[in-house]
Amino acid sequence: DQQVKQNSPSLSVQEGRISILNCDYTNSMFDYFLWYKKYPAEGPTFLISISSIKDKNEDGRFTVFLNKSAKHLSLHIVPSQPGDSAVYFCAAKDDYKLSFGAGTTVTVRA
Amino acid sequence: EAGVTQFPSHSVIEKGQTVTLRCDPISGHDNLYWYRRVMGKEIKFLLHFVKESKQDESGMPNNRFLAERTGGTYSTLKVQPAELEDSGVYFCASSQAGYSPLHFGNGTRLTVT
């Protein structure tokens, strides 16, 4: 059973605008959430994370929001840049194990 | 520091053959993980080593898969005999501590024909 879901397989956004990626989870035992970014033929690279005791974490252009009651998190990228075009994976941690979503492919248009 | 390296980057084998994937974690990282992504779906956990000990292999699909980490350094993942559904990208990741973000290798793309 898939415990982390990214329901939007793709997202197209104009350069300079905001990208919003969404993620839902089902396991209430998850206590740490992460976003990874992946370019073709490369492995996922860590982008940003948030602990379950927080509702927001910001790092430069990237902000992650967590809504525990709704079991939902989102990643905001502002402003979007061409180099942001990649696959973004939402991941949730229970102890040491990461559960990933299927990814959202972001395309930033010039 | 050198990243996580995986070898080979691609492997094409016939059904019934054996393939061994190798992962060299970042030096000093005791935690080593294997994950797999099939057909563009989610990245799924296979197993977790702490040093040379298997902490959790609950994600291993079946007994055709065997992972080892001799001496707590590099790890191998053997598939024997390979089946068509084993095709996918196998990622290795390592971390220094339990709550450190995972560092992933570039993966091995396995195609079973």
CB neighbourhood size of B107 (10 A) = 26
- Nearest-by-Cβ selection for A98 from B9, B41, B102: B102
Tell me which residue of A39, A49, A109 sits closest to A80, measured CA to CA.
Answer: A109
Binary contact (A97, B101; C-beta < 8 A): no
pLDDT of residue B97: 79
Residue B86: pLDDT above 70?
yes
Residue B58's closest chain A neighbor by CA?
A: A97
pLDDT band at B1 (very low <50, low <70, confident <90, very high): low
List pLDDT tens digits, range A54-74: 999 999 999 999 999 999 999
Max CA separation in chain B (angstroms)? 39
What DSSP element (H or E) covers B10?
strand B10-13
pLDDT of residue A96: 82
**Chain B partners within 8 Å of A44 (Cβ):** 43, 91, 104
Residues of chain A with pLDDT under 50: none
List pLDDT tens digits, range B87-106: 999 999 999 876 788 999 99
Confirm or reject contact between A96 and chain B (CB < 8 A).
yes
pLDDT of residue B98: 67
Q: What is the DSSP letter of A6?
A: -
Question: What distance in Å separates the CA atoms of residue A66 and residue A75, rounded to the nearest whole number?
Answer: 9
Binary contact (B106, A42; C-beta < 8 A): yes
Binary contact (B48, A96; C-beta < 8 A): yes
What is the distance in angstroms between the CA of the first residue and the CA of the last residue of chain A? Answer: 38
Say whether B6 sits in a helix, a strand or coil: strand
**Cα B45 to the center of its chain, rounded Å:** 9
Confirm or reject contact between B104 and chain A (CB < 8 A).
yes
Q: What is the mean pLDDT of residues B54-66?
A: 94
